[in-house]
Structure 1
Amino acid sequence: MASSVSSTSTSTSTSTSTSTSIISTAATTTTASVTVVATTLLKKRSLVPARWAEPAVRAVGMAECREATLTLAHAFAADDYARYLVVDGDGDGDGTSTAASEKKDEHKWRLHVDILSYTVASHCMGGVVTAVGPECDSVALWIPPGKQIDGWWTQLRSGMWRLPFQLSAEGRKRYFDEILPLLHDTKAAVLGTRNQDAWYLVYLGTKPSSQGRGYAARLLQDMMARVDSENRPMYLESSSQANNAYYEKFGFEVKRDIFLERGAVPVRLSAMVREPRVSGGKVAAAYASMSPKGKKFGGVKGLVLGC
């Protein structure tokens, strides 16, 4: 009988232990399920708008002007044209790393950001600004056919009126006496009678941390679909010779090289034109297969204002 009691007790103990184990396992499973559900709910409650998180092209307004500005500022931080424009009173400088030169570099950076801030704002008001990514990872500035964005009201509201007071004496000569007339005349000469009928890509840039994801290609493809449906040409000035081959993949052709020559080293700009291609809904599919995703693309520079 004692043996029987002992066996029963052992059986009961084992049963209780097993039950406890099952309950514990169930509790663990329940906890894990709750954790998964909670995590899923947290993800769904993200404050980032879903359409921003996806690599879809969207229009940019004044509310995102700062983000778009910083994207372009970083994309063009080492651009020859950008550096040409923010020249200080001593000329292009010798690149020495003294305290004085570092202070000048900080001033040039702030001026560089200001110029792009005025430019982005002007295009938000009178042109078209498109972007991809939650933080404007890639940005394009466009001037539609026949549009002008250098009217006095736009310059006043965008802050562009401040630029003459911020540029150095040499910077004003470069911008107003050299750059604006040269770009205006070149665009008119290259496009001829179609000058007022073309879409003008003024800036296209991707922040360094987002390069290589095909964002710039998406912005180009989005506008190409629209422009092709309108049967219009596209025009840009590339400030980087390395990017010319990139644009050629999308149908752009170099029509003329021009040079800014007031600095120690001339800055070359390539005027490029893309003729309209396939019409309607076929355009996106036609160019999707040739998207140069994976190639790091910084940006192309066009005119700041005036054409």
Structure 2
Amino acid sequence: MSPYPPNVDDEIRVVGLNEYKEAARSLAEAFAVDDTCRYFLDTPDRAHWTEQQKWELHVAILEYITYSHILKGLVTTVGPNYGAVALWMPPNTTNDDWLTLLRSGLWRLQYKLSAEGKKRFFQEFLPLLHDTKHAALGAREDDAWYLVYIGTRPQSRGRGYARKLIEQITAQADKEGRPCYLESSNAINPKIYRKMGFQEVRRIHLQRAERNICLDIMIREPGAGPQPEPEKPEQLEISVMAT
């Protein structure tokens, strides 16, 4: 046994409503250059915007999303200064009711996003995620733990914080006999997720920008161990038509 007291900064804790801005700021820094997050900002009708204006909108979007998950979900953090933050949607839970949309501020995106940004977010992105989750999980859709966002601040990377947040819930899901579900917007992440028992089941595309943006859909079955590296992973592809 170590003679030193445990580092409280390395203990996972639940984020409260009074902390939503700090948790969202951590996610904003983690996803600052993420293609999917930039998808709603880098639109032709906002080409005149400065990076500072886009950054402020990026932070606002994540504040609304973080607040909604504190209200109707689970937000956890670990590490000093919100080193890593995870947004989960527990089984049999939803945060798309009108009261949560109003309280979280998500309704403000109807006015803050550009015309093209609104099409990308409300007409393409959200319906595609909903339909893909339903197609991938089928009758188990409501039984799954859904990892909506997980991010680590740049200065906190390499310490295993994200893995710690994920393994807390995968251990609980194993006890409950439930699957876990996520979308990965970073090409390097599926290899990491496979080590925690996730496997790719689909790839989806966002298509309204000049180039397609891909997200890998992954599911972890209860009790799953590390997955072997496939030589040529076979993936079913679902994409939404741009209109």
TM-score tier, shorter chain, comes to 0.7 to 0.9
Supply the AA of the counterpart residue of 2:12.
Answer: V
Structure 1 residue runs of 4 or more that deviate by more than 4 Å after TM superposition: none
Distance 1:145 1:52 in 2: 31
Report the 3-state secondary structure (helix = DSSP H, G, I; strand = E; otherwise coil) of the residue aligned with 2:178: coil
1:57 aligns with 2:3: no
Select the residue among 235, 255, 273 that pairs with 2:201. 255
Select the residue among 103, 108, 120 that pairs with 1:174. 120
Distance 2:88 2:7 in 1: 20
Supply the AA of the counterpart residue of 1:151.
Answer: D
CA contact (8 A) 2:90 2:144 kept: yes
Report the 3-state secondary structure (helix = DSSP H, G, I; strand = E; otherwise coil) of the residue aligned with 1:227: helix
Select the residue among 49, 59, 69 that pairs with 1:123. 69
Q: What does the per-residue CA deviation read over 1:169-221, in whole Å, with 9 as the maximum and x for residues that have no partner?
A: 00011111111111111110000110111000000000000000111111011
Report the 3-state secondary structure (helix = DSSP H, G, I; strand = E; otherwise coil) of the residue aligned with 1:191: helix
What residue number does 2:160 align with? 214
Q: What does the per-residue CA deviation read over 1:51-107, in whole Å, with 9 as the maximum and x for residues that have no partner?
A: 88331111111121111011100000000001101134436x5xxxxxx5xx52111
CA contact (8 A) 2:15 2:77 kept: yes
What residue number does 1:228 align with? 174
Select the residue among 175, 190, 197 that pairs with 2:143. 197
Q: Could you tell me the percent identity over the aligned residues?
A: 50
Please report how far the alpha carbon of residue 139 of structure 1 lies from its aligned counterpart in structure 2 after TM superposition.
0.3
What residue number does 1:267 align with? 213
Report the 3-state secondary structure (helix = DSSP H, G, I; strand = E; otherwise coil) of the residue aligned with 2:50: helix
Please report how far the alpha carbon of residue 141 of structure 1 lies from its aligned counterpart in structure 2 after TM superposition.
0.2
Distance 1:52 1:207 in 2: 19
CA contact (8 A) 2:84 2:151 kept: yes
Inter-CA distance 52–117: structure 2 relative to 1 (3 Å threshold) = farther
Q: Structure 2-normalised TM-score?
A: 0.87
Structure in which a larger fraction of residues adopt strand: 2
CA contact (8 A) 2:73 2:87 kept: yes
CA contact (8 A) 1:52 1:132 kept: no
Choose 1 or 2 for highest CA Rg: 1
Report the 3-state secondary structure (helix = DSSP H, G, I; strand = E; otherwise coil) of the residue aligned with 2:174: helix
In structure 1, list runs of 5 or more residues that go unmatched: 1-49, 94-99, 279-285, 288-307
Select the residue among 99, 103, 110 that pairs with 1:164. 110
What residue number does 1:184 align with? 130
Count of aligned pairs between the two proteins: 222
In structure 2, list runs of 5 or more residues that go unmatched: 227-243
Q: What does the per-residue CA deviation read over 1:9-62, in whole Å, with 9 as the maximum and x for residues that have no partner?
A: xxxxxxxxxxxxxxxxxxxxxxxxxxxxxxxxxxxxxxxxx9883311111111
Distance 2:23 2:99 in 1: 22
CA root-mean-square deviation: 1.8
Supply the AA of the counterpart residue of 2:39.
Answer: Y
Supply the AA of the counterpart residue of 1:107.
Answer: Q
What residue number does 1:136 align with? 82
Report the 3-state secondary structure (helix = DSSP H, G, I; strand = E; otherwise coil) of the residue aligned with 1:114: helix
Please report how far the alpha carbon of residue 268 of structure 1 lies from its aligned counterpart in structure 2 after TM superposition.
0.1
Distance 2:56 2:114 in 1: 14
Q: What does the per-residue CA deviation read over 1:244-291, in whole Å, with 9 as the maximum and x for residues that have no partner?
A: 10100001000000100000010000110000107xxxxxxx89xxxx
What residue number does 1:11 align with? none
Distance 1:217 1:87 in 2: 30
Select the residue among 66, 74, 99 that pairs with 2:29. 74
Distance 2:119 2:106 in 1: 16
